[in-house]
């Protein structure tokens, strides 16, 4: 086995693996918090680092048929979400090349410049009216291929 190389991220709002704290993404790359994953609410990111991906698989989701690859943390191998390889529906093409990270499996590292940091806010601003509907509460977990709960 080779040497594990973990890239570091600097700046405000670094998201990391909740199991091992490996850096994954920056707040500036957070595109949406309105997605569903296996464990509940999930986030769409433009860029993610320190992950490896599984084999491509066709998956039927609530928004149509997609080709995805599961993504895993390079340090602890936790299944963190997936990356979109292909969207068959024209309206879903914006997802191609982007990443889903499950909120239950990531955390936002404290910004050294902010005393008011709250991990439950993820990428949202404090006082955001949508906080209640997109909180960390995941409800029932289900498999993305069988439940149709995934975007």
| Domain locations along the chain | 14-109
Q: Does the structural domain 14-109 have CATH classification 2.170.150.20?
A: yes
φ and ψ at residue 62, rounded to 5 degrees: -60, -25
Q: What is the pLDDT of residue 113?
A: 56
Question: pLDDT below 70 — which residues of the chain?
Answer: 1, 111-151
Cβ contacts of 29 within 8 Å, gap of 6 or more:
45, 46, 47, 48
Q: What is the pLDDT of residue 145?
A: 34
Q: What is the pLDDT of residue 3?
A: 82
Q: What is the pLDDT of residue 101?
A: 98
């Amino acid at each position: 086995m080779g040497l594990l190389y973990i890239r570091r991220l600097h700046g405000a709002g670094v998201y990391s693996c909740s199991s091992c704290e490996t850096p994954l993404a920056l707040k500036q790359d957070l595109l949406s918090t309105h997605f569903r994953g296996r464990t509940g609410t999930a986030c769409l990111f433009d860029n993610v680092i320190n992950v490896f991906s599984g084999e491509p698989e066709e998956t039927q989701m609530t928004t149509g048929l997609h080709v995805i690859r599961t993504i895993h943390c390079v340090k602890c191998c936790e299944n963190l979400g997936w990356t979109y390889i292909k969207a068959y529906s024209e309206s879903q093409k914006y997802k191609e090349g982007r990443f889903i990270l499950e909120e239950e499996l990531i955390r936002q590292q404290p910004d050294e410049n902010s005393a008011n940091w709250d991990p439950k806010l993820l990428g949202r601003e404090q006082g955001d009216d949508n906080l209640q509907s997109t909180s960390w509460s995941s409800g029932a977990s289900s498999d993305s291929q069988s439940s149709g709960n995934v975007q």
